[in-house]
Amino acid sequence: MFLINLLSIILLLLLGLMAASVYLQAQSPPLRPVLEKLTQFQGMLGVSGLIFGVIWLIILLIKAGYVVLMALFGLACIFVLLSLGVLMGSQWVERWLQGSEQQQYLRDWRARLLPYQTQLGLAALVLSGLQLLWLIF
């Protein structure tokens, strides 16, 4: 476990340096050669970050158990419910908000969510199926 922690710290440091490289080069020009060498390994470090992220997620879920899994599932359901609620109910709610700045705020949120409507709908179908299975079993 110590080795995984140590590798994660190093990986976070390297990924952070790469992600903030433009800012760091502007603030400290002597770092430029180091950051340029580091960007050669961007793809490999990115994939390593994904792998370690999945490993940490699995470790967290195993150690924390059922409670964390249910909390994450609940948050996903809440997010999808709120998002689809804005998408599907915004035109109806706009009737009550006519002429107010909240009407424009609601329209802005709807415009942001509209490209994801299909994905949110599919997520809602999957989440509702999982909820039904948990309810039955």
For the ranges 2-6, 54-58, 78-82, 133-137, which has the lowest average pLDDT? 2-6
Q: What's the half-sphere exposure (Cβ side, CA atoms, 13 Å) at 87?
A: 16
Same domain, 105 and 117: yes
Residues 90 and 117 in one domain: yes
| Full-model pTM | 0.58
Pair (98, 129) in one structural domain: yes
pLDDT at position 35 over 80:
yes
Residue 108 binned pLDDT confidence (cut-offs 50, 70, 90): very high
Alpha carbons 121 and 128: distance in angstroms, whole number = 11
Buried b (16+ CB within 10 A) or exposed e, 12-49: eebbebbeebeebeeeeeeeeeebeebeeeeeebeebb
Domain boundary among 29, 45, 64: 64
135 in the same domain as 81 = yes
pLDDT classification of 78: cutoffs 50, 70, 90: very high
- Domain containing 75: what range? 65-137
58 — pLDDT class (breaks 50, 70, 90): confident
